[in-house]
Chains A and B, each alone.
Chain A
């Protein structure tokens, strides 16, 4: 087996692992916000790693350029869409999971804030 194939396999298995984590998180976590944590993050790294792995095995410069463009696209679109879904959920008043806290430190000074963190 060639070295670049080994690198590709390792990277793509990593991507597979993180995409699996995202799927497991989607099932296990309690509410829409928490689920988006799992999906928004692990999808970015998961698809990023799979694209990076493919870079090592596709022939030709132009295919590599296309794959890298796709990677950049995923990296920029993913957080934006995650944010949009979260914001929509928030504006529609989707309830938080049971036991969630809501804190405002907007009117507080920095010092007050840090003393609260230790609780």
Chain B
């Protein structure tokens, strides 16, 4: 058992070292002190984790390339998302606290042209977090969205967040 673990560790030395540094940094961040008791305990636990989990190390094969351009697009996306989350909450608050409860709910089926997994996850999660819509189902390019009002449900089709994520996808392809 232990021999197996060690053999795996030896096969991917660089990946294990990277994992160790990552976990150690996380440990230091959480413990917030650098006296020798903390360091020793951290060293022990992180070594154990690296040893037992080293089939999960990051190797060369399935690596995602992250370019500077992708990072910039992602930053822009995060800013817009924060703004949209705020707006969504004010819209929901206004609808819920309105005595007349002005809703016209319904389901809408649309087409989603994003291909890569990660932009698709981002997009459907943004739909859930932003004004008046939640994503119900995404199968292939068939996207099912529930809208709180008719106006918001139809707004999904022409939404500027989609363009940002399309950019992100193209940046990944060209990288």
Q: Which residues of A contact B (CB under 8 A)?
A: 17-18, 21, 24-25, 28-31, 33-34, 36-38, 40-42, 44-45, 60-63, 65-66, 76, 78-80, 82-83, 86-87, 90, 96-97, 99-106, 110, 113-114, 116-117
Mark interface residues in B72-99 (1 if CB within 8 Å of A CB, else 0). 0000000000000110110011001100
Residues of B5-62 contacting chain A, CB below 8 A: 29-33
Contact: A83 with B134, CB < 8 Å? Answer: yes
With a cutoff of 8 Å between Cβ atoms, the chain A residues found around residue B92 in the complex are 21, 25, 37-38, 41-42
Taken together as a complex, chains A and B put the C-alpha atoms of A60 and B31 apart, in Å, by 11
Contact: B105 with A31, CB < 8 Å? Answer: yes
Q: Which residues of B contact A (CB under 8 A)?
A: 29-33, 85-86, 88-89, 92-93, 96-97, 101, 103-111, 124-126, 128-129, 132, 134-137, 142, 144, 146, 148, 150, 153-154, 157-158
With a cutoff of 8 Å between Cβ atoms, the chain A residues found around residue B31 in the complex are 62
Known: A28-B96, A28-B101, A33-B134. A83 touches B124 (CB 8 A): yes
Q: Which 4 A-B pairs have CB atoms at the shortest separation, nearest pair first?
A: A62-B32, A101-B106, A79-B128, A104-B109
Picked from A29, A82, A103, A104, the residue with its CB within 8 Å of the CB of B134 is: A82
- Can you offer 8 A-B residue contacts whose CB atoms are under 8 A? A24-B97, A28-B96, A45-B86, A79-B128, A83-B125, A101-B107, A102-B106, A103-B109
Taken together as a complex, chains A and B put the C-alpha atoms of A28 and B144 apart, in Å, by 24
With a cutoff of 8 Å between Cβ atoms, the chain A residues found around residue B137 in the complex are 87, 90
Contact: B134 with A65, CB < 8 Å? Answer: no
Contact: A83 with B128, CB < 8 Å? Answer: yes
Contact: A24 with B96, CB < 8 Å? Answer: yes
Known: A41-B89, A42-B89, A83-B124. A34 touches B148 (CB 8 A): yes
Taking A44-B85, A86-B136 as given, write out 19 further A-B residue pairs in contact, using a Cβ cutoff of 8 Å, ordered by the A residue number: A21-B96, A33-B105, A34-B105, A45-B88, A62-B30, A62-B31, A62-B33, A83-B124, A86-B134, A86-B135, A90-B136, A101-B106, A102-B106, A103-B108, A104-B108, A104-B109, A105-B108, A105-B111, A106-B111
